[in-house]
Structure 1
Amino acid sequence: MSYPSPHDRTRKDDEDDPVDQMISRTGCAELHYAVQECMAEHQDWRACQKQVQSFKDCMTNFQNAQKEQRRQQPST
C-alpha cells in the first residue's frame, strides 16, 4: 500500500493543520518554525538546543499566563 508523501501537501493542507493553528494561538509560531528549520538543516536535535529551549520557554510562558488567567476568573 502506498501512502502520499508528506512533502506533496498543498497550501490548503498547511492552513488546516490543527497543530499549526494551536501553536499560532500561543504566539510561539516563529520559534516553532525555527526548530523545524534547524531540524531540517542539521537532522540532529542536539544541534538545535538553542531553538528548542527558546520554543520551550515561550510555550511555558504561554501556559503559565493561561493558568493565571483561569485562576483570576471568578468561579461560577
Structure 2
Amino acid sequence: MASPPVHDRSRPEDEDDPVDRMILRTGCGEQHYAVQECMSEHQDWRLCQKHVQTFKDCMSSFQQARKEQLLKQLSKETHN
C-alpha cells in the first residue's frame, strides 16, 4: 500500500491551504514542516519522534497562551 503524499507546498502563493494557514497562525509552522519532511525522508513516524515532540510542545504552548488570553478577555467582559 502506498503511503499518502507529503503535503505539497509547491502550490502558488495565492492558493493558501486552510490547514497551512491555521498552523502558521499558531507559530508552529516550522515545526510542522519539520515533521512532514522527516516523515517524507524516513517513511516511519517512529524515526521522527523528536520532531513530533517539538511540534507537540509548540502547539501546547500556543494552546495554553490562547486559553489564558481568552480567560483574560472573558474576565474583562464580566467585570464591565
TM-score bin, normalised by smaller chain = 0.7 to 0.9
Which one has a larger percent helix, Structure 1 or Structure 2? 1
CA deviations on 1:14-70 (whole Å, 9 max, x unpaired) are 842100000000000000000000000000000000000000000000000000001
Q: Distance in 1 between matches of 2:50 and 2:8?
A: 30
Q: Distance in 2 between matches of 1:7 and 1:57?
A: 21
Residues 23 and 29 in structure 2, CA contact (< 8 A), matched pair in contact too:
yes
**Relative to 1, partners in 2 of residues 1:12 and 1:44: Cα closer, same or farther, differing over 3 Å?**
same
Q: Secondary structure at the match of 1:16?
A: coil
**Relative to 1, partners in 2 of residues 1:41 and 1:9: Cα closer, same or farther, differing over 3 Å?**
closer
Q: Secondary structure at the match of 2:39?
A: helix
* One-letter code aligned to 2:77: S
Cross-structure match for 1:18: 18
Extract structure 1 runs of 4+ deviating beyond 4 A: 5-10
**Relative to 1, partners in 2 of residues 1:39 and 1:9: Cα closer, same or farther, differing over 3 Å?**
closer
* Structure 1 vs Structure 2 CA RMSD: 2.7
Q: Distance in 2 between matches of 1:58 and 1:9?
A: 21
Identity rate of aligned residues, in percent?
69
Q: Distance in 2 between matches of 1:7 and 1:46?
A: 19
Cross-structure match for 1:75: 77
The number of residues matched between the two structures is 72
